[in-house]
Amino acid sequence: MPAQGARSHGVDPALKKILVLNGPNLNLLGSREPAVYGSATLADVEALCLDTAARLGVAVECRQSNHEGLLIDWIHEAGAAQRAGQLLGVVLNAGAYTHTSLALHDAIKGTGLAVIEVHISNVHAREAFRHRSFLSPAAAGVVVGFGVDGYRLAIEGLVRRAGAQP
């Protein structure tokens, strides 16, 4: 039981960390197709994640890579950290790998990692090749079409999800 007056979100303090992973081309946010993705840069997104995490009393680490194998390595690392009780889960915007990567699907399934899949744009209102996600069947949740605010929603969802667990 937390001490009287202590703020608790129902989350085990040992588990209070979230990893935010951004995949290919998300380093171009701000200049990349602003009509689709908006004007916020990746640095803005990472600042939003840090602010959200601080408000909720959790730690966050943000990483970005254009390389599928590195994203897979990070998911393996995160799976081990989650099993060790050090991580609540991962917020993942895998960019176009969402629509192509059976390997990312297998990595999420294989580690049992809690992943919230995020897309800035509403992929379902776009080209047909963006309608299929290899990640959604392995994800704990999906946030689509809320712009960069989706990262905030995903972090809040991961924290609530953890708090709801016994």
Asked if 119 is an active-site residue, the reply is yes
Is residue 133 within 8 A of residue 98, CB to CB? The reply is yes
Name the region of 84 (left: φ>0; alpha: ψ -120 to 50; beta: rest): alpha
Q: Which of 92, 123, 143, 155 binds ligand DQA (CB under 6 A)?
A: 123
Tokens of 100: 């192509």
Residue 93 found at the interface with ligand DQA (CB under 6 A): yes
Q: Which is nearer to ligand DQA, 40 or 114 (CB)?
A: 40
Minimum distance from CB of 54 to ligand DQA (Å)? 23
Q: Which of 38, 74, 121, 155 binds ligand DQA (CB under 6 A)?
A: 121
What does residue 12 show for φ and ψ, rounded to 5 degrees?
-60, 125
Is residue 50 within 8 A of residue 60, CB to CB? The reply is yes
Binding site for ligand DQA (CB under 6 A): 25, 93, 95-96, 98, 119-121, 123, 130
Would you please indicate which residues are annotated as catalytic (active-site) residues?
37, 119
